[in-house]
Each structure stands twice: as C-alpha cells, then as structure tokens.
Amino acid sequence: MRSSTSPSASSSRSHSRRSLLLGGLGAALGIALPLGGNARAAAAPPVLVGDQKARKVLLLDSTKTNWDPAADPSVVQWSFTPDGDSRYADLQPASSFTYVSEAKARTSGGSTLVLVTASYGFAAVVEYPTGERRWAGLVAGSGPGDDLNPHSIELLPDGNVAVACSNGNAVRVYAASQGPTATDYFTTPLTTAHGVHWDSGANVLWAVGGSKLAAYTVAGTPAQPVLAEKTSLSVQLPTSDGHDVGAVAGSSDLLWVSTGSALYQYSKSARTFTPYGSTACGRGPWGGVKAVSNSGGTVLFTKPDGDLSPNWLTRYVRDASGTASPYALADGGIYKARWWQP
C-alpha cells in the first residue's frame, strides 16, 4: 500500500497577525517581531502536522479551522505513513514509527522533501508527493525502541541527514547522500538533543538540547561525514530543557528557540535571547512549546493540552495572537506542526 495521497489544490485563508518591536533588540535591528493579531493575510500555506494517534504525517488545508478527515477528506492535501508500505518495510515501521516526533519540509535539487522522525527509531527523507524513499534508516541502538529517541531531523547541503537523539544524548549525521538505505553515521554528544536546524547563512548546523544551543560545522566527506562544534557560536540557553530550533521566517538573523519554560527569538548577531511574550494566549507561560514557525506575521505553535494520553499531545495548532480560533484536528493526537515552508 502506498503511503502518500495526491495533493489537492490549496485555497487561501487570511491569518491574524499583529506586529510589534520586541524591546531594544527589535528597535536596534529594525525588525518587526510578530506576535499575531486581527488582520488576515491571504494565501497562507498549508500546515504540516505529525498526528501520533493516526500514525500519519498530514498536510492540512489552512483555510479550514476544523480538520476532520473522516467527515471531510478534502482537508488532507497529502499524507504519509510507512505502515504497510513495502518501500519502508525493512525499518519495521509497525514498531519504529511509533510517536511521530518531527515533520518538516525542505527542497533539494528541484525536489520537495518531507523529513520525518518517530520516537522508536524511524527517520526518513520522503519525496513529495510520491512518498518515494530518498533515504530512510533505523536510528536505534539494537532495534526498534526509544533507547535513542530520534526527535528531529535536518537535511544538510550535501544530501546527508542530521538527527537529534534525545534519549541518546547525541546528534548523528547519516551518510544519506550515499543511497536510500545508507547506514553509516557520525555521532557527537549533546545532552538530551531535541532539535536540529541547518543555517545556510552561517553555514552551520544548530542543535538544541539540555541547556545549550550548539553550532556545528560539517566536515569530512559525504561518505564519511564529521561534525565539529563551532564553540565561538555555541551558547548557553537562558532556561533549561531546550526543545525546538528553527529559522524565524523573514529574518536572516533570528532563530526560534523553545525550552521547558520559555520561547525565545535568538539574535545571532547580538548573541541575545529575547523572550517571545510572557503568556501563551492567556494559557500560561510559553514553556513546553514543542514546535513553532511563522509565515509572515502569523505564528503557529503546538503545546500539550495536558488531558490527553500520552500527556505530551494536543488536539490543536494554535495561532500565537490568541484572537484567531486554533486549528482543531478531530480525534487527533498532535505533537508537532509547522507551516508548509519547503
């Protein structure tokens, strides 16, 4: 059974946004740092969602607030699961694809790719929209299980793949450029590594975990990759339990960084972390944000509801403005969601 469905044409919906300068940093940089708001911007992209309950990655129509694939299949513009797919059978997805922990879109050589990890070892670079296997591997010690817990994934310029392993306390780089089943990798330690992001401007891989935002240069060869920490760029986090890291869209200087108790925008030039607001839309502090991304001024994030099992899941993808209704996935169990930004 093939894992992908054909994408449907996406319609447009405006998204709330309001802009403000975050303190002296925003003023100094001359950048309006968005928090969301009331005006709706046209032609918003779809939303890429990891649904742990359904064991699928879903690309969902952002023009509809209520996502109910059973009642309205048109909300799903594309989907992926390795379950029952012969192209991924060697990875034992019935076990390894437990708890989708990452889904993000990238482009390479004219192709659109979806990067996916799951906690029990599954990691893949999936061609969109065919679902073909560009690369996939089992990121585990001795077999499917959460002994390493691949938590995020990133595509490197040479076609190799970086994976953050939270239980493994490491970042691995796989020689994915060598073929769809390549297994060679290099490992560097990072306590409770949770997020990875390639920064083409700085030419470094950012990785976040524990109390550190680490920067690495990629060395070696595509067949034998090596990561070397660039200590002149690595920094300590203001708060512990680093979780997500990614680009602030529209800025060459800022990174999103989330921790167990806060959400920040990190300025690479100023080497400063600016808290992104003191409350999450009236729902308490910005701690525990699992994924965050912005499209223009519209910021989406996921954060556990607290009443689902497992307790890290949510039914919602929220707009940071607090004035727009959150996206709600019927009978869903979302961990991360991001704007579709290949």
- Return d(Cα 246, Cα 301) in angstroms, integer: 12
314 or 32: whose pLDDT is higher?
314
* 48, 104 Cβ separation under 8 angstroms: yes
Return the top range by mean pLDDT from 32-41, 256-265, 280-289.
256-265
What is the rounded average pLDDT of the residues 165-176?
A: 98
Counting residues of the chain whose pLDDT is more than 70, the rounded percentage is: 85
83: which 2 tokens? Answer: 């379950």
Cis peptide before 342 (omega within 30 of 0): no
Average confidence score pLDDT of the chain:
88
Does the pLDDT at position 37 exceed 70? no
**Model-level pTM?**
0.87
324 or 282: whose pLDDT is higher?
324
Per-residue pLDDT band for 258 (boundaries 50, 70, 90) equals: very high
Q: What is the DSSP letter of 91?
A: G
* 33, 21 Cβ separation under 8 angstroms: yes
> What local confidence, expressed as pLDDT, does residue 4 receive?
40
What's the burial of 153, exposed, middle or buried (CB within 10 Å: 0-12/13-18/19+)? buried
235-236 vs 212-220, strand pairing mode: antiparallel
> What local confidence, expressed as pLDDT, does residue 278 receive?
57
15: which 2 tokens? Answer: 């998204």
> What local confidence, expressed as pLDDT, does residue 32 receive?
39
* Residues contacting residue 133 through CB under 8 Å, at least 6 positions apart: 87, 88, 124, 125, 126, 127, 180
- Return d(Cα 336, Cα 133) in angstroms, integer: 22
CA 279-254-156 angle, 5° bins: 120
> What local confidence, expressed as pLDDT, does residue 285 receive?
61
What is the rounded average pLDDT of the residues 76-99?
A: 98
Counting residues of the chain whose pLDDT is more than 90, the rounded percentage is: 80
